[in-house]
């Protein structure tokens, strides 16, 4: 009888199809079709290089199997299968699997620092629609508007509104969509989608209209970002998704949200704020944002954010390159507001969301570590408890 073995899998519900893991894998073990990103058991050597680059933790899935799941199996999944029942031979391999698990756990402990750990959705979050439109059958949207959000000439950030007309495209706050840039790559294949967080609430950029918005920064040499930033009203866009089943906001109005972001990482938090404003009104409270940028001129939504009432959103807009002022980063402001942050950490109704460039994580983690110590808590333990309860969410790139 075949001895059990460990198989590396990817959760199709959580995966946001950013394809970063596939591009990172040096042995070609990870591939995709129109629906899913999958791992070839015959090629995977458990090097773990793909773990830290995954922004959602969807790649941290393992099963003990007697017969590995084939690529065909995985391409057809909409959700992961449960653990297989393993026969009598499992006892013969038990010691080897335990040793394997210990080795994997050691690697994951370090890798999760970058990936934010294995994500879980808030218990009260609405059920998201996943992968409704794929590479083979994308949705077509019409550009309804393209507005520049920043004044800094070196930071061209756009607010793009897409209208889906009569085509259903249900999204929740915190989900992403893929934009397929036109043309082909150097190998003559269609370009892969570029992911963008939706920056409008579930009922649309305009309430009860079938549209949504994106927050997109033009990147020098960026294929898709330049395509999107140059779109004109009336242009057609090929869209995949929606993606993401964990970086969602709780439906419980009592939940307190601590949101930490830089740049276009604010997109999801704009959606969160608008959802709360529309569903519970300006007096709902319980939302705190630390938003970092180089200066006010390159901070998206600076003007509109300033007008959001403090009763709804406590705002800390932090700048690192303001002329005549000392450099300040989000972690510095968090330390300066340690009392308020500590109050949030101590509250079991608090959900933490971190979104933006991966480089921000280390500083934010250090700040949270010190603040947690001030209330007698070990941050690593508290963070893992919150993650397990669906109250700690990280998406950084």
Mean pLDDT estimate for the chain: 89
User: In this model, does residue 111 exceed pLDDT 50?
Assistant: no
Model pLDDT for residues 180-220, shown as the tens digit of each residue: 999 998 889 889 999 999 999 999 999 989 999 999 999 99
Half-sphere exposure in the Cβ direction for 207 (13 Å, CA): 5
- Note the pLDDT of residue 305: 87
Nearest to 121 by CA among 353, 395, 391: 391
Pairwise pLDDT comparison (215 vs 322), residue with the higher score: 215
User: In this model, does residue 335 exceed pLDDT 50?
Assistant: yes
Query: Which of 48-52, 233-237, 265-269 ranks highest by mean pLDDT?
Result: 233-237
- H or E element at residue 350: strand 350-356
Alpha-carbon distance of 313 to 318, in angstroms, equals 15
Nearest to 41 by CA among 68, 79, 74, 1: 68
- Note the pLDDT of residue 108: 47
Do residues 97 and 83 lie in contact, with contact meaning Cβ atoms separated by under 8 Å?
A: no
Model pLDDT for residues 71-110, shown as the tens digit of each residue: 999 999 988 988 877 664 444 444 445 555 555 555 444 4
Nearest to 340 by CA among 328, 329, 350: 350
* pLDDT confidence band for 117 (50 / 70 / 90): low
Examine residue 242 and say whether the peptide bond preceding it is cis (omega within 30 degrees of 0): yes
- Note the pLDDT of residue 339: 97
- Note the pLDDT of residue 256: 95
């Amino acid at each position: 009888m075949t001895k059990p073995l460990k198989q590396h899998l990817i959760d199709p519900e959580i995966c946001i199809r950013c394809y970063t893991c596939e591009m990172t894998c040096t042995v070609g073990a990870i591939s995709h079709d129109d629906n899913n990103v999958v791992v070839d058991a015959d090629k995977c050597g458990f090097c773990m290089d793909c773990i830290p680059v995954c922004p959602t933790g969807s790649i941290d899935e393992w099963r003990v199997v007697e017969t590995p799941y084939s690529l065909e199996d995985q391409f057809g999944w909409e959700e992961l299968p449960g653990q297989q029942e393993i026969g009598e031979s499992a006892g013969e391999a038990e010691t080897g699997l335990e040793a394997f698990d210990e080795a994997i756990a050691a690697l994951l402990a370090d890798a999760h620092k970058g990936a934010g750990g294995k994500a879980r959705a808030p218990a009260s979050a609405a059920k998201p629609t996943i992968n409704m439109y794929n590479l083979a059958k994308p949705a077509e949207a019409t550009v309804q508007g393209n507005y520049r959000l920043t004044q800094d000439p070196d930071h061209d950030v756009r607010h793009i509104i897409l209208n889906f007309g009569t085509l259903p495209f249900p999204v929740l706050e915190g989900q992403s969509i893929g934009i397929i840039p036109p043309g082909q790559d150097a190998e003559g294949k269609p370009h892969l989608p570029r992911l963008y967080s939706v920056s409008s609430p579930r009922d649309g950029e305009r309430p009860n209209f079938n549209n949504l918005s994106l927050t997109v920064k033009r990147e020098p040499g960026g294929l898709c970002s330049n395509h999107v930033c140059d779109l004109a009203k009336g242009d057609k866009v090929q869209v995949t998704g929606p993606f993401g089943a964990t970086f969602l906001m709780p439906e419980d109005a009592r939940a307190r949200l601590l949101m930490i972001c830089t740049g276009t990482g604010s997109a999801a938090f704009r959606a969160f704020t608008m959802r709360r404003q529309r569903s519970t009104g300006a007096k709902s409270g319980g939302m705190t944002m630390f938003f970092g940028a180089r200066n006010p001129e390159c901070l998206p939504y600076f003007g509109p954010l300033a007008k959001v009432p403090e009763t709804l959103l406590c705002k800390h807009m932090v700048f690192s390159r303001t002329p005549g002022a000392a450099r300040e980063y989000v972690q510095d402001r968090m330390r300066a507001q340690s009392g308020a942050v500590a109050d949030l950490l101590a509250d079991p109704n608090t959900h933490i969301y971190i979104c933006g460039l991966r480089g921000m994580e280390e500083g934010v983690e250090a700040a949270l570590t010190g603040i947690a110590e001030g209330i007698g808590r070990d941050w690593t333990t508290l963070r893992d408890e919150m993650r397990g309860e669906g109250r700690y969410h990280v998406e950084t790139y």
